[in-house]
Amino acid sequence: MNDVYPVALNLAGKSCLVVGGGEIAGGKIDALLRSGALVTLVSPTVRPSIRDLATEGRIRLLNRPYQQSDLDGCFLVVAATDDRSANAKVAGDARAAGVLVNAVDDPPNCDFYAMALVRRGDLQVAISTNGLSPAFARWMRERLDGALPNEYGDLLALLSEVRQELRAHGPIPPYERWRAAIDDDLLGEVRCGAIELARTRLVQRLAGLGPSPAAGFGRAAATLSPTGLVSLVGAGPGDPGLITRAGLERLRAAEVVAHDRLVDRRLLAEAAIGAEIICVGKAPRQAGWSQAAINELLVERARAGKRVVRLKGGDPFVFGHGGDELAALVAAGVPVELIPGVSSAIAAPAAAGIPVTQRGLSSTLTIVTGHEDPGKPNQSVDWSWLARAPGTIVVLMGLDRIEAIAARLVAGGMDGTTPAAAISAGTLPEQQSVVTNLAGLGEAVGDAGLRSPALIVIGEVVRFPERLKRLKQLADTESRSRTYEESHYA
């Protein structure tokens, strides 16, 4: 069998005929309409979805059997009935009339095959099996669809715009320059949404590579001073697998990574080889980076044209100074984006089997910092109000002040027997937790030797794992009883 010659047909405004009114015909109609074709369908019976297209005026419907005259004025025809002899008749008439024909699942009666397509904007990757196995073509399409980045369409749009700009100034650079300019870094900038940065870098590369840059673009590129992008990325609660897909993509494309002290080393290993890795974390009661110094670092690296990831534990906007850094970058005129993360306030309790909300137990959630000294007269946390608040309370960064926090809550009116738990190293293999009541929590934490990072959960939801344990014991008992009865009476 000869190889087919792959082409892309421009069907905009061209008359195309589909014979048949079933599911396969419906798929062919969708593809033709997407290509801008003027579609006529002929069939004595049609699916409701096809009839709807006719009612909406999107296709012309001839609700009768096929006639040879239906081919008049057609550019191509698709024979998509469930009768192979009828499809062969349409194919013979079409060839006699000089009309391109595709008879579905009948290669000898095809002038062309409809390829399986993977689309990313205007980018189309077509897959053909020479008509031998449509199922394999579809399978291959599904595999490629899962592998090709969604941003390829955006990258193509950028390349097209730059190509038009170059054409307006003179000759278009040869392929060798484009090949050198289009790389993973460029895709990473597009993926991050830094389109203007990507455009600037692309123009500079095309103008600076080779001896003959396009007229005018060499001078323009020489005056450009691109600004980089800062991504404020939530690293998640601890387990490196809990970073979001978007966060991981930014990390892998970064040239500079400024990370918190507690970010997992396995996650930092995902950064690109050669990336500048800077620990800007703060430790309790120890000298470290000030917030002003961190802000200055982010601004300086971005102004040097770098792709910067500020990698913060949990979510940047949950007691993570994300707002401070965002404000500093905006004030400095530096492009910045926020990639939210999974907060430990939710993930760590979940890893310990505690839902922070649960029907019948808690319908509200309060997340509070324990970093403020409960003994200060003007503390920002009103523990007396929290003592009377319904639902679940999650205290972050409060392990060192756990006894004072419990005392303030009890003094504010909360019952000392309220269920409470402390969870250390949530979501990590070394996770450890204690479950008791509010009044005894400080002593239990000391006896267990829990260390930061840790959080405190207060409320009836703390009893949920115990409830699950009882349900499991009941289910196991019933299972053993059924097994006994079946064996006894067998």
Please count the other Cβ atoms lying within 10 Å of the Cβ belonging to residue 265: 8
pLDDT value at residue 224: 40
pLDDT category of residue 309 using cuts at 50, 70 and 90: very high
pLDDT category of residue 422 using cuts at 50, 70 and 90: very high
Query: What's the distance, CA 329 to chain centroid?
Result: 24
Token pair listed for 151: 């941003």
pLDDT(216) > 80: no
CA atoms within 13 A on the CB side of 250: 31
As a whole number of angstroms, the distance between CA 464 and CA 271 comes to 39
pLDDT value at residue 489: 53
Asked whether the beta carbons of 345 and 239 are under 8 A apart, the reply is no
**Bridging pattern class, strands 123-127 and 419-424:** unpaired
Helix (H) or strand (E) holding 208: helix 195-208
- Span 346-467 CATH architecture: 2-Layer Sandwich (3.30)
Lowest pLDDT segment from 166-180, 248-262, 327-341, 435-449: 166-180
pLDDT value at residue 295: 95
Every domain of the chain and the residues it spans? 15-114, 152-223, 229-342, 346-467
Percent over 90 (pLDDT), the chain: 58
82 Cβ partners below 8 Å, 6+ apart?
A: 20, 22
pLDDT value at residue 223: 36
Between 67 and 131, the more confident residue is 67
Asked whether the beta carbons of 128 and 94 are under 8 A apart, the reply is no
pLDDT value at residue 215: 37
Token pair listed for 76: 């191509």
pLDDT(355) > 80: yes
Q: Report angle CA 44, 98, 87 to the nearest 5 degrees.
A: 35
Q: One-letter amino acid identity for 396?
A: L
In this prediction, residues 99-110 reach a mean pLDDT of 90
Torsions phi, psi for 124 (to 5 deg): -130, 125
Which single residue is written with the structure tokens 């389109």?
195
Instruction: Measure Cα distances from 33 to 8, 16, 62 in Å.
Output: 15, 10, 17
Asked whether the beta carbons of 365 and 349 are under 8 A apart, the reply is no
Which of 154, 260, 264, 315 does the annotation list as catalytic? 260
pLDDT value at residue 373: 59
pLDDT value at residue 466: 87
Which single residue is written with the structure tokens 């008509």?
131
Asked whether the beta carbons of 95 and 74 are under 8 A apart, the reply is no
Mean pLDDT score across all residues of the chain = 87
pLDDT value at residue 209: 40
Which of 111, 145, 185, 282 does the annotation list as catalytic? 282
pLDDT value at residue 350: 95
pLDDT(312) > 50: yes
As a whole number of angstroms, the distance between CA 228 and CA 16 comes to 49
Torsions phi, psi for 279 (to 5 deg): -85, 115
**Answer CATH for 15-114 from 1.10.1060.10, 3.30.310.50, 1.10.10.10, 3.40.50.720:** 3.40.50.720
Question: Is residue 260 annotated as part of the catalytic site, yes or no?
Answer: yes
Lowest pLDDT segment from 222-236, 274-288, 301-315: 222-236
* Residue pLDDT, tens place only, 372-386: 755 565 567 899 999
pLDDT(430) > 90: yes
pLDDT value at residue 462: 95
Averaging pLDDT over each range in 134-143, 161-170, 315-324, which range is the top one? 315-324
- What does CATH list as the number for 229-342? 3.40.1010.10
Helices (H), 224-373: 245-253, 265-268, 291-303, 322-331, 344-351
pLDDT value at residue 1: 58
pLDDT(440) > 90: yes
| Fold: same for 229-342 and 346-467 | no
pLDDT category of residue 218 using cuts at 50, 70 and 90: very low
pLDDT value at residue 284: 61
- Measured over the CA atoms of residue 252, residue 348, residue 404 and residue 390, the dihedral's sign is positive
> SS3 of 97, please?
helix
